[in-house]
């Protein structure tokens, strides 16, 4: 934390990026006719390029597009397809994604292919898979340690750090289960903004529309997954970092209850030892809810307390699929952050579908504690470090702040200084909020809550602001997930437009046109198993309706 300021941080970052670039074989390079169009102001949708650019074989297109992780593992475990072929396909596609949206931080294709070969050989020799993730390529947010690769988390001053000498605990567990690691992905400076932008790796763009944010803090994953350069990725989440990229890119994600998945062994963006009541969480992002179940069950079945003493030493419970009507609470919007028309339409449509399928909806808007105040309270927990460690880390290199940093504060907290005395009062305030939501869940016999993940779809770079709709579940420590559904379509959205709503950021239909829609589902704490089953039901209904 006390590195000397770096005389020429720009050239250091440039070297890092150049070294990364070299890891993409020339055969996997996009032509300049495509790359010349890439810019953060372009309205280009690049989702079709991996399929059409000619770098992937038809088989590779199929391997990367047609299956979820569960299906791939089944096929690889039976020997029907080889991990080597799957891994090669995802390496190629990740390389393409990197050229389109700048989503990668560390690239280790060779190690991945060698590991994939090892998985295939094991199966051939032993006749059974290595484990429940046999041969599966998994992408990782940069903050995970992977032995032999660097973990800079986008801090210039961390460029001087040697490659990691150990894996994050979760990485170890996934490896033992048969996973193949091939890339780490981009994130914001300090990991506390929704724009995955830092001075080491630059900015990740949204593949749906390059001029929009890919979200953060796990935006590299979000963009990579949307481009199907990965089939499953791992994200951390303390205010929405697992869910915001899912919202922005239009993929699925799950933030479990804290301490079920081992968090330790990675590189934190700030100081260790926080007395905050909000715990950081790791959760999967990807393409299907059953993949999240596979991930959760695999990790928890491994008894991860043996690796990370901060894990709750409780089993993954087998719960039955949902067979009876569910009861959903519905939270729509806070007046300070009214829903953009595409989001209002998506939520309305999803709620209607649930009702039509026989499930109940209970409107909670007027019954919940003020969402804005809850978010402010959460933000105070993020400001508890008197040493302001991330500031020191940034200043150590002389790198500037990325622009989005200035957009993620609350005016109400200008000049606010944490104190031990107020921390007691904050905990009492949080206890009241916890109590209110518990009472709502219990008294209304709710199985889950449906709500937006954000007031808008993906927004222009550096305009995301405070994540009021995702930080709530961190404050509560309720599990929550994102499911993609619909997309911004100005004609269809128009009926949901309210002239005096005071949209923030501003709603300009053409800017958002084509951006993916999503909904957020929130479960009860420690009932991740039940939330997964509920999400499967909703996922099925939304897919049918799409």
Of 22 and 317, nearer to a second copy (C-beta) is 317
| 317 contacts a second copy (rule: CB under 8 A) | yes
CB of 274 to a second copy, least distance (A): 7
Q: Which of 221, 231, 185, 295 is nearest to 81 (CA)?
A: 231
351 carries a ligand binding annotation: no
What whole-number distance in Å separates Cα of residue 371 and Cα of residue 466? 12
CB of 522 to a second copy, least distance (A): 14
CB of 477 to a second copy, least distance (A): 10
Of 294 and 307, nearer to a second copy (C-beta) is 307
Of 125 and 445, nearer to a second copy (C-beta) is 445
Stretch near a second copy under the rule CB under 8 A, chosen from 159-167, 314-322, 327-335, 353-361: 314-322
What whole-number distance in Å separates Cα of residue 39 and Cα of residue 131? 42
349 carries a ligand binding annotation: no
Of 54 and 415, nearer to a second copy (C-beta) is 415
CA 406 to chain centre: 21
Q: What is the DSSP letter of 133?
A: T
CB of 279 to a second copy, least distance (A): 12
Is-catalytic flag, 217? yes
241 carries a ligand binding annotation: yes
Cβ 143 vs Cβ 218: under 8 Å: no
Residue 350: cis peptide before it, omega within 30 degrees of 0:
no
Cβ 122 vs Cβ 85: under 8 Å: no
Residues 135-194 that bind a second copy (CB under 8 A): none
CA separation, residue 214 to residues 115, 147, 189, 252, 515 (Å)? 30, 27, 14, 14, 11
Alpha helices in 302-414, H assignment, sequence order: 341-356, 371-382, 389-397
What whole-number distance in Å separates Cα of residue 97 and Cα of residue 226? 9
Residues 239-298 that bind a second copy (CB under 8 A): 271-275, 277
Integer-rounded Cα Rg, in Å, for the chain is 22
DSSP state letters, 406-462: GGS--GGGTT----HHHHHHHHHHHHHHHHHHHHHHHHTT-SEEEE-SSSSSS-BTT
192 carries a ligand binding annotation: no
CB of 306 to a second copy, least distance (A): 5
CB of 300 to a second copy, least distance (A): 12
Of 220 and 266, nearer to a second copy (C-beta) is 266
Residues 413-452 that bind a second copy (CB under 8 A): 418-421, 423-428, 431, 434-435, 437-438, 442
Residues 84-103 that bind a second copy (CB under 8 A): none
CB of 428 to a second copy, least distance (A): 4
Residues 342-401 that bind a second copy (CB under 8 A): 384-387
Which of 14, 110, 309, 370 touches a second copy by CB under 8 A?
Answer: 309
Which of 42, 78, 313, 546 touches a second copy by CB under 8 A?
Answer: 313
Element (H, E) at 490: helix 490-493
CB of 308 to a second copy, least distance (A): 8
CA separation, residue 271 to residues 62, 245, 333, 386, 418 (Å)? 44, 24, 34, 10, 15
Angle between helix axes 219-226 and 83-101 (nearest 10 degrees) is 110
* 3-class DSSP string for 167-213: CCHHHHHHHHCCCEEEEEECCCHHHCCCCCEECCCEECECCCCCCEE
Number of residues lying near a second copy (CB under 8 A) = 39
- Residue 510 corresponds to which tokens in the numbers above? 């053409």
13 carries a ligand binding annotation: no
Of 255 and 527, nearer to a second copy (C-beta) is 527
CA separation, residue 424 to residues 124, 277, 354, 429, 473 (Å)? 59, 11, 41, 9, 21
CB of 201 to a second copy, least distance (A): 29
Of 27 and 420, nearer to a second copy (C-beta) is 420
What whole-number distance in Å separates Cα of residue 463 and Cα of residue 101? 18
Residues 6+ away with beta carbon under 8 Å from 440: 329, 364, 367, 368, 446
Binding mask 502-531 for a second copy (x = CB under 8 A): ----------------------xxxx----
232 carries a ligand binding annotation: no
Of 136 and 258, nearer to a second copy (C-beta) is 258
Catalytic residue among 83, 143, 196, 217: 217
Catalytic residue among 82, 141, 226, 255: 141
Stretch near a second copy under the rule CB under 8 A, chosen from 121-129, 165-173, 310-318, 353-361: 310-318
Q: Which of 257, 253, 189 is nearest to 217 (CA)?
A: 189
Catalytic residue among 143, 168, 241, 252: 241
What whole-number distance in Å separates Cα of residue 176 and Cα of residue 239? 30
Of 39 and 310, nearer to a second copy (C-beta) is 310
Annotated binding site: 191, 217, 238-241
Active site residue ranges:
141, 217, 241
Annotated binding site for substrate: 191, 217, 238-241
Q: Contact residues for a second copy (CB under 8 A)?
A: 271-275, 277, 305-306, 309-310, 312-315, 317, 384-387, 418-421, 423-428, 431, 434-435, 437-438, 442, 524-527
């Amino acid at each position: 934390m006390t590195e000397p300021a770096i005389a020429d941080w720009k050239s250091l970052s440039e070297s890092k990026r150049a070294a990364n670039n070299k890891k993409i074989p020339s055969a996997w390079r996009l032509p300049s006719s495509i790359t010349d169009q890439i810019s953060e102001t372009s309205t280009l949708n690049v989702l079709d390029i991996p399929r059409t650019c000619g770098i992937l074989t038809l088989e590779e297109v199929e391997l990367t597009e047609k299956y979820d992780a569960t299906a791939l593992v089944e096929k690889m475990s039976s020997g029907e397809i080889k991990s080597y072929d799957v891994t090669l396909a995802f390496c190629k596609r990740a390389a393409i994604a990197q050229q389109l949206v700048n989503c990668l931080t560390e690239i280790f294709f060779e190690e991945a292919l060698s590991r994939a070969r090892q998985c295939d050989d094991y199966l051939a020799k032993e006749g059974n898979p290595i484990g429940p993730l046999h041969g599966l390529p998994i992408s990782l947010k940069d903050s995970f340690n992977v032995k032999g690769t660097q973990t800079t988390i986008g801090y210039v001053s961390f460029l001087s750090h040697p490659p990691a000498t150990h894996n994050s605990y979760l990485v170890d567990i996934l490896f033992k289960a048969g996973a193949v690691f091939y890339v780490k992905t981009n994130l914001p400076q300090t990991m506390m903004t929704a724009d995955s932008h830092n001075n080491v790796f630059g900015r990740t763009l949204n593949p749906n529309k390059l001029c929009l944010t890919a979200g953060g803090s796990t935006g590299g994953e979000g963009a990579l997954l949307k481009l199907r350069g990965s089939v499953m990725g791992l994200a951390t989440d303390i205010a929405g970092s697992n869910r915001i990229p899912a919202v922005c890119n239009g993929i699925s994600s799950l933030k479990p209850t804290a301490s079920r998945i081992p968090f330790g062994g990675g590189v934190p963006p700030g100081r260790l030892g926080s007395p905050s009541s909000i715990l950081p969480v790791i959760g999967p992002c990807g393409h299907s809810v059953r993949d999240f179940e596979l991930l959760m069950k695999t990790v928890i079945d491994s008894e991860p307390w043996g690796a990370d003493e901060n894990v709750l030493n409780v089993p993954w419970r087998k719960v039955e699929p949902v067979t009876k009507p569910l009861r959903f609470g519905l939270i729509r919007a806070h007046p300070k952050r009214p829903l953009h028309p595409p989001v209002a339409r998506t939520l309305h449509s999803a709620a209607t579908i649930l009702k039509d399928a026989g499930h109940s909806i209970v409107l909670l808007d007027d019954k919940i504690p003020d969402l804005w105040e809850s978010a402010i309270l959460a933000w105070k927990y993020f400001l508890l470090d008197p040493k302001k460690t991330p500031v020191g880390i940034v200043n150590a290199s002389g790198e500037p702040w990325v622009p989005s940093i200035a957009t993620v504060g609350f005016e109400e907290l200008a000049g606010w200084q944490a104190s031990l005395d107020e921390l007691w009062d904050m905990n009492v305030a949080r206890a009241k909020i916890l109590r209110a939501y518990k009472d709502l869940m219990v008294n209304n016999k709710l199985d889950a809550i449906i709500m937006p993940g954000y007031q808008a779809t993906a927004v222009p770079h550096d305009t995301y602001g405070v994540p009021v709709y995702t930080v709530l579940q961190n404050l509560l420590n309720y599990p929550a997930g994102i499911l993609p559904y619909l997309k911004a379509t100005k004609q269809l959205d128009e009926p949901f437009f309210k002239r005096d709503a005071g949209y923030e950021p501003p709603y300009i239909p053409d800017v958002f046109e084509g951006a993916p829609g999503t909904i957020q589902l929130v479960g009860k704490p420690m009932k991740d198993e039940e939330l997964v089953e509920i999400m499967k039901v909703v996922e099925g209904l939304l897919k049918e309706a799409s």
